[in-house]
Chains A and B, each alone.
Chain A
Amino acid sequence: MLAAYLIKVTLHRIALSTIPELQHKILRLLNLIYHRQIIKKMEEKEKDKSRRKFLLDFSALGLGSLVASSLLTESCNKIGPGPGKKITLLNSKNELVEVDSLYISTLNKNLSPTHNSEGRKGLPGKKFVLVVDLAKCKNARKCMDKCASVHQLRPDQFHLNVLVMKDSEEAAPYFFPKHCQHCDNPPCVKVCPVDATFKRSDGIVLIDNERCIGCRFCIAACPYSARSFNWFEPKDAEKYKDVPYNIELNVPQKKGTVTKCSFSADCLREGKLPYCVSACPNEVYYFGNVYEDTVTNGTTGETVSFSDLIAKNAGYRLMEELGTAPSIYYLPPKDRAKMPEKDDLNI
């Protein structure tokens, strides 16, 4: 048994470069066959056109692409007579839509709005950067609230945590919104044994909650303590039971897996700013494409040159000496004497 595994692993290594492509091709082929079968069945049953259109829309979204062969026959068999119960689904626009279970009976558990392999690639011609102006942060925590709600986090889980920093005994304190740094030399991605957490070409470090084995090595490896684990059944697990997993939004959360800041990759795909950035009332966040050398302020909507902003305000990265090469820049917290009152410091 053990030997067989090891041989298998070795074989994997040898055929490494070819296998993913092959897998992808097979999946695409299966996908094609699958859709044809569905459409054929539908026509046989002469269902009304609007419903059919809906299903086609779904396939156009690439929803069907993850289907494995065993699932194929199963799902086809399951199309029975009469309408079933309504099921809630998340569509590509992140809207919850209600659909008759008859048409999506087995699809919904295995397919995600953004195709997994698509979500792993990253947006072409982009590399995202976040600039945090520490001088402006007043601990309003609108970013944290928004983040926790869209990512369905428990109150003790953080993708984004606003810290009160005090660099030394005499130094004045300042607020410090801490995200995942989306490092270019990510210690967490290095140690992942199963490629569950990975780095995209647009700089974003994501995690696939459907592959994560829960070893928590990435949590141990992260010097910024940016990752969180689902120690229990996630918040509202029952409510989102039938919602397909979205790798870019990192929801629904899954018990026993690691969860982390995704730079709101789902928003970026649509050209929108991340949730936290557009929730800030204090002009703290600038977000943009570093290849374009521009960043946009989430509060004012002003778009400015990234390199100018960094140059004029002495932007720096967190713990540069670790060599992790973060994608987040901080503008120093000048005027930090103007901290809000003590009661606002909910430490």
Chain B
Amino acid sequence: MAKFKIVVSFLLLAFSFSAFSQSEKWLVTADNAKKNNPLTINPKNMAVGKNVFMRSCKACHGINADGKGRTQSPNLIADEFQKQTDGAIFFKVFTGKNKMPSFKAKLKEEEIWSVVNYLRVLVNPSAVPPAVDIKLEVSADDAAKSITAFVLTADSAKLPLQDVDVHFFIKRYFGLMRIAELINNTGKDGKVTVNIPEKIIGDSLGNITVIAKIENNFLYNDTEVSLTKLWATPLTTGDETFNQRSLWGARDKSPLWLLFMANGIILGVWAVIIFVIYNIFRIKKAGKIFIK
């Protein structure tokens, strides 16, 4: 009976707990809610916000932050969400709850504040000016294995542009591998240089394709440039080992010792069997001679 009671109370507990967690409001203390956003809304911060959102939030909340991601999640552009203070949103991203992971360890505080700003801009698109085209050029330094992006205005003046965020990637089979930082802003000369990391594996010759991109930027339209360089370690495969004879190999790759042993035994046994069957015919023949 005692056991039964324990089971029942446990079930009740589990049930109430689950019911509770479904309807419970995510309470944020006044202190946290009152926290002020230290960042102003400017293009530089916004780029950080959008980049972080695209990397860490998009999967669940959807590319438009409307909650239509891979899993059921709150709509971040709904009024109900947007009426919260910046501090409350920051607190929730920082601590996490249930399905919402904590980003305490994954993001810097400024990055979280940038995301908050980005969410504000999403419902207020007129806050940012329309994006314009720009020109992106790349040059490579073979000795240093470095790549320089040069950002200019798209008009005939070709003025170098400062503080433009350029992304650098190396092309891989399933996607682009980021090199350098998440944010690489151009200098006064409109240039930013990054080094190719060591130990990069290219194709069978050692070629890699490096891509420079402008994306997730509020002032400029997306653009990308790529170049292929013989900078990497050539790709080596394990095909030689794979093609060796082995126990898990296909039938035409059975180990030689197995082939010889098995066939030897089969031949030996069946030679005797055939000899005995032949003997039956010999017995028959011997009988016929007797009759004559």
Contact = CB atoms under 8 A, between A and B. Distances in A.
Do A and B have CB atoms closer than 8 angstroms in the complex? yes
Interface stretch (B54-62, B77-85, B109-117, B118-126): B54-62
Nearest to A300: B55
A292 to B, nearest CB: 5
Contacts of A295: 174
A216 to B, nearest CB: 18
- Size band of the B side of the interface? 35 or more
A252 interface: no
B1 interface: no
A151 interface: no
A286 to B, nearest CB: 9
Nearest to B98: A340
Contact of A292 (B173, B263, B267, B270): B173
Contact of B235 (A136, A199, A291): A291
Interface string A325-347: 00000000000000011110000
B239 A201 contact: yes
Contact of B199 (A185, A293, A303, A342): A293
A92 to B, nearest CB: 19
Contacts of A292: 172-173, 201, 235
Contacts of B248: 185-186, 189-190, 199
Interface of A, helix, strand, loop or mixed by DSSP: loop
Contact of A304 (B21, B71, B177): B177
Given A190-B247, A271-B174, A342-B18, A293 B237 contact: no
Given A279-B70, A343-B14, A303 B176 contact: yes
B201 A293 contact: yes
Interface string A285-304: 00111011111100111111
Interface string B161-196: 000000001001111111000000000000000000
A287 to B, nearest CB: 6
A279 B175 CA distance: 16
A185 B203 CA distance: 27
Nearest to A188: B248
Contacts of B60: 281
A13 interface: yes
B252 A289 contact: no
A180 B174 CA distance: 21
Contact of B177 (A16, A126, A279, A294): A294
B130 interface: no
Nearest to B55: A300
8 contacts: A13-B259, A124-B237, A126-B173, A271-B173, A282-B101, A295-B174, A303-B172, A305-B199
Interface of B: 14, 17-18, 21, 55-56, 58-60, 69-71, 98-99, 101, 169, 172-178, 199, 201, 203-204, 235-239, 242-243, 247-252, 254, 259, 262-263, 266-267, 270
